[in-house]
Amino acid sequence: ALERTAQAVRMESLGQLAGGVAHDFNNLLAIILNYADFLTEEVTADGRRDLDRIRDAAGRARSLTSQLLLFARQEPTQVENVDLNEVVSSSSELLSRSIGTNIRLVCRTHGQPLPVRANRGRLDQILLNLVINARDAMPDGGLVVVGTDRTADGGARLSVTDTGCGMTAEVRDRLFEPFFTTKPADQGTGLGLATVYGIVEDAGGHIGVESSPGAGTTFTIELPRADGPAPEAAGTSVTGPSPGR
Ligand code: ADP
């Protein structure tokens, strides 16, 4: 437990540092992008090509700084009662568009509403991060199953399973560390799972992973149930594919 606290403190200070830097960089990048836009009106065709490169690089830098800002999570967000099933079914179209055509996405949502207390946008973000990672683990195609279920104590469980490359124990031990990535520099920031981890912690939940090389990967997130009327006892009936697909 002690080690976990030290890890949490380290994550928090890293988050503050990253957030401060990202915030200032975002402002500077906005200036660069603005002036590049102004100049485009005034230069020759050659100059315009160079300007396009500037804009392209600044645009990529800005998408990195927005990931850093999300990781740092300094802006307060609104927490509400959210039905986890609804998060999955309303994202399923965006998700299947994000994974390309050689990967099949199946959503298996629990038959009853699964209310959790969390920020809606952050739940969407978690799901997208996990599904994008699943996609990256299956360059030759495969299957992603997104499932929801009720936990024994009335909370909610979200799982994302892929049939991808899986990971070694070394990767598994480090994957929640900020900036840890095995992807090429222009494809991975190593912030995705660190962000997911932080959001789940903020919401009072847990995240776990099961994975081995060649055997695919399952991420499981458990969130405490939202306060309010106790949920009816319900079985773990599974429906799918979700109506959104
Ligand atoms: P990034 O995706 O930018 O690399 P993440 O924090 O999301 O950053 O992931 C960290 C690393 O964890 C990845 O580079 C990859 O090695 C590993 N990983 C994450 N999800 C999966 C998965 N579904 N299958 C295999 N490896 C994964």
3-state SS, residue 239: strand
Does the CB atom of residue 178 touch ligand 1 within 6 A? no
Side chain identity at residue 198, one-letter code: G
Percent of the chain residues past pLDDT 70, beyond the cut = 88
CA of 201 to the centre of ligand 1 (A): 19
| CB 58 near ligand 1, within 6 Å | no
Most informative mutation of 68, 161, 193 for ligand 1 (most atoms within 8 A of CB): 193
Residue 132 CA to ligand 1 centre (angstroms) = 9
Q: Which residue has the tokens 């005034």?
A: 42
Q: Indicate if the pLDDT at residue 167 is higher than 70.
A: yes
Query: Average pLDDT of the chain?
Result: 86
Cβ(192) – ligand 1 distance below 6 Å: yes
Q: Given a cut of 60, is residue 234 above it in pLDDT?
A: no
1 pLDDT higher than 90: no
0.90 cut: is pTM over it? no
Q: Is the CB of 207 within 6 Å of ligand 1?
A: no
Quick one: which atom of ligand 1 is closest to the CA of 182? 14
List the residue whose alpha carbon is closest to atom 11 of ligand 1.
181
Which is it for strands 115-118 and 80-83: parallel, antiparallel or unpaired?
antiparallel
CB 188 less than 6 A from any atom of ligand 1 = yes
Q: Is residue 244 very low, low, confident or very high in pLDDT (cuts 50, 70, 90)? A: very low
| pLDDT higher than 60, residue 238 | no
Categorize the per-residue pLDDT at 233 as very low, low, confident or very high, splitting at 50, 70 and 90: very low
> How much is the pLDDT for 228?
55
Region of poorest pLDDT, from 95-99, 213-217, 226-230? 226-230
Q: Give 182 Cα–ligand 1 centroid separation in angstroms.
A: 7
Among 42-46, 58-62, 69-73, 110-114, the range with the most confident prediction by mean pLDDT is 110-114
The pLDDT, as a whole number, for residue 59 is 87
Give the residue-averaged pLDDT of 106-133.
Answer: 94
Each residue's pLDDT tens digit, 120-146:
999 999 999 999 999 999 999 999 999
Q: What angle do CA 112, 117, 123 make, to 5 degrees?
A: 85
- Please list the alpha-helical segments (H only) found in the chain: 2-40, 45-72, 84-98, 120-136, 169-174, 192-202
Strands 238-239 and 103-110: antiparallel
Residue nearest to atom 3 of ligand 1 (CA): 188
> Which ipTM was obtained for this model?
0.98
Residue 97 Cβ inside 6 Å of ligand 1? The answer reads: no
Q: Is 198 helix (H, G, I), strand (E, B) or coil?
A: helix
pLDDT of residue 229: 47
**Does residue 11 surpass a pLDDT of 80?**
no
Q: Which residue has the higher pLDDT, 1 or 61?
A: 61
pLDDT over 90 (residue 160): yes
